[in-house]
Every structure is written in structure tokens, then in C-alpha cells.
Amino acid sequence: MMSTLPKSVVVGGRRYPTWALSSEARQQLINLKRVDAYIAELKGRLAYYLAARKQCQDSLSRALPTSQTSQVQRYYWQMAPAEWAHQPWPPESAQLLMRNFGAREHYREGDCLLIYVKGYGVCGWGEVRVGSHSTKRLLVWRSRVTALADAISAKMLREYALRHPTRASQRLPEDTNIEPLLSALKARTGVDAV
């Protein structure tokens, strides 16, 4: 197969007439032209397969079942060490780093934590937020007692059909009626941040 060559070629910013090229340079020019043609063919195939992939992805999205249920609020017990609980809580502080009281980073934004201090009980609750300038998790207080003596004890939790946590972090069942406990905490609190 004889490939036709242009009258001149530009290499490195300099123009060369084809008739002045050596036979080896002409052969390399033919090879370059063939490789460029093959690359153009591959680009065409790639565009075709990318379009086919997009169509398959759209079809898959339409074929998946749609979620009819709304996002369920997740509540967790989070045990906090007594040393942390005995530290003074500044009244103006509405949020704190979760690692400061030993909470893990596995919570999602919007999860609600019931803070439980062993020997005292539930001392407050808050929502998990992700820091605006980092991936650090924050607990934004919604309600908390002013003193540990005001905490809702394990014995009192029975009134709300709840049991105290047995692990450092423990999810409450989705069907738990948590509102009465939250209302009782709100009645005992000095801070009610919204």
C-alpha cells in the first residue's frame, strides 16, 4: 500500500520539502501518518463506547427501585468518661469536637447522640455535624443538664422504656419512641440550643 506524502512537512518548527527527505525519513513519515490514522480510529471507538456506557448507566438508574422511605433519624447512645463530664462546660459553648469525649468518627451528619455518663446517666443530647473547614465531627448540643446531678439515671430510663447503654457507642432501634426522653432532658437543662 503506497501512501501519498504531502509536498512538505513541518518538524520542530522548520519546513522540509518531501522530495529532499531521505528514504528513511519518508518511511518514518508514512509510519507517523498510519499511527495518527489509527489513533483517530481509536478515538472514534472510545467516543462510541463512552456513549454506550452512559446509556447503560442511565438505563440502570431507571431500573433501580426508587426509595419511597424518607431518611430515618438515627439515635445512638454515646458513653462519655466521667473525667470529661466533670470538666466545666462553658455555657456559651453549643458545640464541641467529638474526639474530646472519646466518640468515634463513624457517625454520619445528622445522627443524634444521647450522651451517657456511667454512674450519672443521660446528661444531654446533640446532633453530629461535620466541620465546615474539615472532616472533623462536631457535636452540636440540643439539650444538656447544667450539673451531672440533674442527669436522667439508668433507673429513670425505665420510665421511657429504655435501657442504659452497654457499649461505648450503641444505636437505638429505629422504632424507639425517644421524644419523651428528649422532652424530659429539655425540662432539666440549662442550655437548649437549636
pLDDT, tens digit, 9 for 90 and up, residues 45-61: 999 999 999 999 888 88
Domain boundary, last residue among 22, 37, 63:
63
Whether residues 168 and 118 share a domain: the answer is: yes
- How confident is the model over 89-115, as a mean pLDDT? 75
**Average pLDDT in the 165-180 region?**
89
In a shared domain, residues 102 and 134: yes
Q: How confident is the model at residue 67 (pLDDT cuts 50, 70, 90)?
A: low
Residues 124-148: pLDDT tens digits? 888 888 877 666 788 888 888 878 8
User: What pLDDT is recorded for position 190?
Assistant: 54
Residues 51 and 90 in one domain: no
**Do residues 76 and 171 touch, judged by C-beta distance below 8 A?**
yes
Q: What CATH number is attached to the domain comprising 167?
A: 3.10.590
Answer yes or no: do 43 and 104 share one domain.
no
The domain of 43 spans: 8-63
Over pLDDT 70: what percentage of the chain?
88
Inter-CA distances, 99 with 80, 103, 106, 137, Å:
10, 5, 11, 8
Q: Percentage of residues in the chain with pLDDT exceeding 90?
A: 24
pLDDT at 107 over 80: yes
34 & 98 share domain: no
pLDDT digits 0-9 by tens, 12-31:
889 999 888 899 998 998 99
Query: Into how many domains does the chain fold?
Result: 2
Cβ of 10: how many Cβ atoms within 10 Å?
9
Residue 75 near residue 178 (C-beta atoms within 8 A): yes
- According to DSSP, residue 43 is labeled H
Q: Does residue 183 form part of some domain?
A: yes
Q: Is 69 among the domain residues?
A: no
46 and 84 assigned to the same domain:
no
Check whether 156 has a pLDDT greater than 80: yes
Mean pLDDT, range 158-163, rounded to an integer: 88
Q: Does residue 172 belong to any structural domain of this protein?
A: yes
* Confidence band of 193 (pLDDT split at 50, 70, 90): very low
Q: Residue 194: what pLDDT?
A: 42
Instruction: Say yes or no: 54 and 119 in one domain.
Output: no
